[in-house]
Amino acid sequence: MSSTTSIVASRLGQVKPSASIAAKAKADALRAAGREIIDFTVGEPDFPTPAHIVEAGTKALLQGQTRYTASAGTLPLRNAIIGKLKRENGLDYELPEIVVGCGAKHIIFNAFTASLNAGDEVVIPAPYWVSYPEMVLINGGVPKIVDCPATSGFKLTPAALERAITPRTRWLVLNSPNNPTGAVYSKAELRALGEVLLKHPQVWVMTDEIYEHFAYNGASHVCILQTMPELRGRTLVINGVSKAYAMTGWRIGYGAGPAELVKAITLLITQSTTCATSAAQAAAVEALNGPQDCVAEAARLFESRRDRLATQLSAIDGIECDLPLGAFYVFASIAGLIGRSTPAGVRLKTDQDVANYLIEHAGVVTINGTSYGLSPYLRFSFATAAAEIDRGCAAIAAAVDELRKP
């Protein structure tokens, strides 16, 4: 009897598909099958890329900018990134410290590939963006998940960070404003975390700031380097144009950090994607250097949608949520729905059960909190039209009314 060996690498056996991509695919499939669906999964603005940015990309194409660029990114874009970081974040960088990738995710992945040896640990506060742990696993690392419950504002505390660090710790991942909770770290909170990190020189900081322009209720984004410049020699700042400029499909992200790490990330790009798309880089230059009114307008729009969604969800029996201070997600507790039974007599035991029930009985697609490392919650994106928010919340309320309490 012969045995067959799989072509798929064994390490992929512990890697899960992206929950957010899977949920969006589910929504698209149901819609294609004729179901009327309200989609709260999308992690991207629902409006088009601003016209002046599209025009810059189109102009670049017409001018023949259709060839390979330098693997670290074009000089105009890297200079635009340097200018942005100085202007908006008060951070000084030079060209060898900037690298452009095919989205912020690309830079994060390559940073882990460039830095992790087998068994190295990465501290990831939960709730977390679904891809952090999986990217660590793909690259041979060990995700060290630290629970950050609602009682701590879904934020990492210095004491919890201290407990999580071991001699094998290589990175701490920070994401503020946070996906999925919208939590925003204050200057004092980042300073306190930095004080812990100063005692552990082997630990680097990856700070994912992709939602930096979406902060509400007087909150403001702060980069840890603004309060702890001592950490500059072991910090990688991650950002991009996807969220702020509605450019998710253009696939442009960037990293700013020590030249040695940036050089290693660039090396990986030379042997994988070669470079980010040339015309998309030209559009990103215009995004960063051009008028910024579109960003402020998007932030105002998202804040009004946040208020609308959170108010309506909180009015539903069994669902609780606070107003998130940033990003464009509401991370709602559905603990009050656990234990209830559907009209068919099926008991809801997990947040995935609740998510499945809402798909089937309300036509509403969300993402379960378990995928983000904390349950029982559901993540709702408010990067969708006000009418869709109203329709979705009404459908959820009607479906919840049909549940039987224990």
pLDDT digits (tens, 9 = 90+) for 317-362: 999 999 999 999 999 999 999 999 999 999 999 999 999 999 999 9
pLDDT of residue 5: 85
pLDDT of residue 239: 98
pLDDT at 199 over 80: yes
pLDDT of residue 24: 77
pLDDT digits (tens, 9 = 90+) for 365-403: 999 999 999 999 999 999 999 999 999 999 999 999 999
Summarize the confidence of residues 242-250 as an average pLDDT: 98
pLDDT at 1 over 80: no
All domains of the chain in start order, with CATH:
12-41+294-401 (3.90.1150.10), 52-290 (3.40.640.10)
Q: What is the pTM assigned to this prediction?
A: 0.95
pLDDT of residue 2: 43
pLDDT of residue 104: 98
pLDDT at 84 over 50: yes
pLDDT of residue 320: 98
Shortest CA distance to 130 belongs to which of 334, 406, 370?
A: 370
What integer best gives the mean pLDDT of the chain?
A: 96
Query: What percentage of residues in the chain have a pLDDT greater than 90?
Result: 91
pLDDT of residue 376: 98
